[in-house]
């Protein structure tokens, strides 16, 4: 068992079962043993690959998206460009390079990266050394600088800890992490019911609630409603709230048991976009989407960008660009175009953002 696994077992032995939310938070961001804290999880040699790591086109299109949104905001000076969970900094690097075509936007940019992991923050620093924009780091949204803002979050909400509730014969019970007779980590149901959950479902149905993401999206929306701007969320998830267990753990590009060796696998859950939209609307913001990632990227000009890049490349590069274009926007198995969704939360005075225009 991993060091973190031993620590969690001791915690449960001393204090009783813990919520899935607590377990996921420890597994991902425990200061010394959390999954993200001391490793670079991305790419072929890592555990998973994200859209910006597949192709420069992803970040480039988002950089141009941001420049257009800024113009539609009335070109505020300065404007905060805030990214939540920037990974290796690849998206931001590609976005800033593409935004060179909008020098007025580039000139007033103040970039802030929200990152929990000191290791990934160091990699972001390296990646962005020559980006030519002022960049600061913060550990949480609350520390992000005030003012009109454009917020970007790719595969961030899915990493925030969820709670799960399971429908029993009579009532809903929270799913907790506890120890079995042999002392191994196992899932169980809490002894007491959650009588305030009114959702009707068959026995065994699983209800997922991401209160941390709800609060974050509410806080972002509230600020955008007051101070101006828009936030782009891209993640894998569903457009309507439903039942189902979407918790998954991935190590070396393979699904593993979320309770095995905590701290050594990425743990995520699908984003409930409808729930996130309710949160943002309650805070007074406008919502656009969610729409399939493939539709969003194509509306921003993915196919044209791919064609332009291919013109400069040799046969191998042309094949790579086409493979990346399909992986990002295709809607078949193993492709991200339909599974991933894009949603924008914006100040109500803004026109529909690029990609969401009717």
Enumerate binding residues for ligand SAH (CB under 6 A).
28-29, 36, 50, 52-53, 85-87, 91, 114-117, 120, 154-156, 159
Shortest Å distance, C-beta 115 to ligand SAH: 5
CB-based contact 217:223 (threshold 8 Å): no
Cis peptide bond upstream of 78, omega within 30: yes
β-pairing verdict for 229-238 and 149-154: parallel
| CB of 107 vs ligand SAH, minimal distance in Å | 25
CB-CB contact of 19 with 164 (8 Å): no
CA distance 37 to 140: 15
Decide whether 167 or 325 has the Cβ nearer to ligand SAH. 325
Please say which residue, 271 or 286, places its beta carbon nearer to ligand SAH.
271
| 190-228 as b/e: b if 16+ CB within 10 A | beeeeeeeeeeeeeebbbbbbebbbebbbebbbbbbeeb
Q: Which 3 state secondary structure label does DSSP give 157? A: helix
Q: Which residue has the tokens 């480039």?
A: 60
DSSP state of 351: P
Question: Nearest distance from residue 171's CB to ligand SAH, in Å?
Answer: 31
| Shortest Å, Cβ 73 to ligand SAH | 23
- Residue 348 gets the label, from left (phi > 0), alpha (psi -120 to 50) or beta, of alpha
CB of 76 to ligand SAH, least distance (A): 25
Q: Are strands 206-209 and 229-238 parallel, antiparallel or unpaired?
A: unpaired
Task: Kindly state the smallest distance separating residue 7's Cβ from ligand SAH, in Å.
Answer: 19
- The vertex-234 CA angle with 229 and 236, nearest 5°, equals 155
The least CB distance from residue 345 to ligand SAH, in Å, is 17
Quote the Cα angle for 103-88-90, to 5°: 35
Rounded to the nearest whole angstrom, what is the least distance from the CB of residue 189 to ligand SAH in the complex?
27
Alpha helices, DSSP H only, in 262-340? 273-282, 293-299, 302-312, 315-329
Closest contact distance (angstroms) between CB of 39 and ligand SAH is: 10
Beta-strand ranges (E) seen in the chain are 18-19, 79-84, 109-114, 135-138, 149-154, 163-167, 172-179, 185-193, 206-209, 229-238, 248-251, 254-256, 266-268, 271-272, 286-292, 340-346
Kindly tell me which of 143 and 322 has the beta carbon lying closer to ligand SAH.
Answer: 143
Beta bridge mates, 209 = 163
| Nearer CB in complex with ligand SAH: 20/91 | 91
């Amino acid at each position: 068992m991993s060091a973190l696994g031993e620590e969690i077992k001791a915690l449960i032995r001393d204090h009783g079962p813990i919520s899935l939310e607590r377990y996921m938070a420890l597994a991902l961001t425990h200061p010394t043993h959390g999954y993200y804290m001391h490793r670079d999880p991305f790419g072929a040699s890592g555990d998973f690959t994200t859209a910006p790591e597949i192709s420069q086109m992803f970040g480039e299109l988002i950089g141009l998206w941001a420049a257009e949104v800024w113009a539609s905001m009335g070109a505020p000076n300065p404007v905060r460009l805030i990214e939540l969970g920037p990974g290796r900094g690849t998206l931001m690097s590609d976005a800033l390079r593409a935004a060179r075509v909008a020098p007025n936007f580039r000139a007033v940019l103040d970039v802030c990266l929200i990152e929990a992991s000191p290791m990934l923050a160091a990699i972001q620093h390296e990646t962005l050394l020559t980006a030519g924009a002022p960049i600061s780091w913060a550990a949480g949204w609350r520390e992000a600088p005030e003012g009109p803002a454009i917020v970007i979050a790719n595969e961030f909400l899915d990493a925030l800890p969820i709670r799960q509730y399971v429908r029993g014969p009579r009532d809903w019970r929270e799913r907790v992490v506890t120890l079995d007779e042999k002392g191994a980590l196992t899932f169980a149901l809490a002894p007491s019911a959650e009588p305030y959950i009114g959702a009707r479902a068959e026995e065994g149905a699983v209800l997922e609630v991401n209160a941390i993401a709800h609060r974050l999206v509410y806080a972002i929306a509230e600020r955008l409603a007051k101070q101006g701007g828009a936030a782009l969320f891209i993640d894998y998830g569903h457009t309507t709230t439903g039942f189902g267990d979407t918790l998954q753990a991935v190590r070396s590009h393979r699904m593993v048991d979320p309770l095995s060796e905590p701290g050594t696998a990425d743990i995520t859950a699908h984003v409930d976009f409808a729930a996130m939209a309710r949160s943002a609307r309650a805070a007074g913001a406008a919502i656009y989407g969610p729409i399939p990632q493939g539709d969003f990227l194509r509306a921003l000009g993915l196919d044209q960008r791919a064609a332009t890049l291919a013109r400069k490349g040799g046969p191998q590069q042309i094949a790579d660009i086409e493979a990346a274009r399909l992986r990002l926007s295709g809607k078949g198995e193993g492709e991200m175009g339909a599974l991933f969704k894009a949603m924008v939360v914006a100040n109500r005075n803004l026109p529909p953002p690029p990609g969401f225009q009717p």
